[in-house]
Amino acid sequence: MRGSQRSDEERQAALKRKLSQVTALLDTQEEDNGADVTRQSAKGATACGPSTRTVVTWPDGPEIVVIIGTTDMARRDPTLIPRICYIVDEAYTAAGKHKRMDEYDAHHRLRMGDAGPGANRVLHMAYKGDELLGVASSTYDPGWTPDGCGHWGLLAVDPKHQNKGVATALVLAAERRLAMQSEMIQIEYEYGGDEFSTRLLAWYEDKLGFHGGPKPPRGYHTFRRCHKPIPAEEQRRGQRRRLEEIRMWLMEQIAEDGKGGASTQVALEESSEGEASSQDDSSGETAEL
Say what the pLDDT of residue 42 is.
58
Give the DSSP per-residue string, the chain. Answer: -HHHHHHHHHHHHHHHHHHHHHHHHHHHSPPPSS--EEEETTTTEEEES-TTEEEEE-TT--EEEEEE--HHHHHH-TTHHHHHHHHHHHHHHHTT------HHHHHHHHHHGGGGGG-SEEEEEEEETTEEEEEEEEES--SSSPTTEEEEEEEEE-GGGTTSSHHHHHHHHHHHHHTTT-SEEEEEEEE-SSHHHHHHHIIIIIIS--B-SSPPPTT--EEEEEEEEPPHHHHHHHHHHHHHHHHHHHHHHHHHHHTTPPP-----SPP-TTTTGGGG----TT---
Q: How confident is the model at residue 276 (pLDDT cuts 50, 70, 90)?
A: very low
Q: pTM (2 decimals)? A: 0.86
> Residues 38-78: pLDDT tens digits?
766 556 889 999 999 999 998 887 799 999 999 999 999 99
Per-residue pLDDT, 13? 84
Domains and CATH numbers, the chain: 39-183 (3.40.630.30), 185-229 (no CATH)
Q: What is the mean pLDDT of residues 270-279?
A: 48
β-bridge mates for residue 136, sequence order:
124
Residue 281 has pLDDT above 70, yes or no: no
Task: Judge contact between 124 and 135, C-beta under 8 A.
Answer: yes
Confidence (pLDDT) at 33: 58
d(CA 108, CA 215): 36
User: Does 141 score more than 70 pLDDT?
Assistant: yes
Residue 287 confidence (pLDDT) above 90: no
Q: Does residue 114 surpass a pLDDT of 90?
A: yes
4 pLDDT above the threshold of 70 = no
| Structure confidence at residue 167 (pLDDT) | 95
